[in-house]
Amino acid sequence: MFWKKLFASAAPSKSAYGLPEGELVYAVGDIHGRIDLLLKLRDLIETDMASRPHENATIVFLGDYVDRGFHSCEVIDALITMKIAGAKVICLAGNHEDMMLQFLADPSEGQMWLGVGGLATLASYGVYLEEETDFDALLDASNALGSVLPRAHLDFLKGLDEHWQLGEILFVHAGLRPGIPLSAQRRRDKLGIRREFMESNYDFGVKIVHGHTGVRKPISNQLQVAVDTGAFATGVLTAAVLQDASVSFVST
């Protein structure tokens, strides 16, 4: 695979980035409306977590919870109420959540969202629309979504963090722009960058764990971990398992 070759060519300046001692983190890739896979992976994580000695456990969801699959509403419900015994749950923003919010704020920009899975998200909330439609229909659909979207879902979408860091590991939806300090990174890059990040061997001083760019199998090297295994199309939802400086994977 093209991206796999790019990952393999990375030349890090440090042999291993890791988590603080006693920390265990599961980083979950793009769910895209597959509630069935989310619930299955949750159970697999619970089983795996019970087998690993640790002091603190965290489940990090890397964004793109909505679109493409047919149960975006149910996925957000599950994430809001997600409880895994002994673990903290963190949810990060993905570009598809941003597109959904943009459709609510300005439906004139919604045609692109509809073409990348927004129609399925609308349907999950009981709002039905054709992919090719005029502005009046987009406006009606945006208003309809706004009227049925639970307040808890809106607060969830608006409250998602852009990234999270623990020790020498940084979790983000898409990646970072090479050569720019973390404090100066733009939201649009953290949620949407692809080629410039994937082709770079740039060492940000942390290992970056991300989804967004699809890979046939989860990939890990000294600089990056990629876990978007295309759950919507493949039926494989993946979590990276990070402990100390080691990385392994749990998949449906």
Q: What pLDDT score was predicted for residue 12?
A: 45
* Conformational region of residue 199, where left means phi above 0, alpha means psi within -120 to 50, and beta covers everything else: alpha
What are the φ/ψ torsions at residue 29 (nearest 5 degrees)?
-75, -170
Q: Is 163 helix (H, G, I), strand (E, B) or coil?
A: strand
DSSP conformation class of 92 = B
Number of domains in the chain: 1
What pTM value is reported for the model?
A: 0.93
Query: How many CB atoms are located within 10 Å of the residue 153 CB?
Result: 19
Which residues span the domain enclosing 85?
A: 2-251
Strand 224-226 relative to strand 207-210: parallel, antiparallel, unpaired? parallel
Q: Along the 252 residues of the chain, how does pLDDT read in single tens digits? A: 334 444 433 444 566 899 999 999 999 999 999 999 999 999 999 999 999 999 999 999 999 999 999 999 999 999 999 999 999 999 999 999 999 999 999 998 888 899 999 999 999 999 998 877 899 999 999 999 999 999 999 999 999 999 999 999 999 999 999 999 999 999 999 999 999 999 898 999 999 999 999 999 999 999 999 999 999 999 999 999 999 999 999 999
- Spatial CB neighbours of 220, under 8 Å, sequence gap ≥ 6: 226, 240, 247, 249
245: nearest Cα among 216, 218, 223: 223
Q: What pLDDT score was predicted for residue 13?
A: 52
227: nearest Cα among 217, 25, 235: 217
Strand 224-226 relative to strand 238-243: parallel, antiparallel, unpaired? unpaired
131: nearest Cα among 114, 150, 153, 109: 114
DSSP conformation class of 59 = E
Q: What pLDDT score was predicted for residue 6?
A: 40
Q: Give the CATH number, domain containing residue 7.
A: 3.60.21.10
How many CA atoms does the CB half-sphere of 9 hold within 13 Å?
Answer: 10
The rounded distance, in Å, linking the Cα atoms of 64 and 30 is 5
9: nearest Cα among 17, 18, 1: 1
Amino acid at 163: H
Give strand pairing partners of 56.
Answer: 23
Q: What pLDDT score was predicted for residue 7?
A: 40
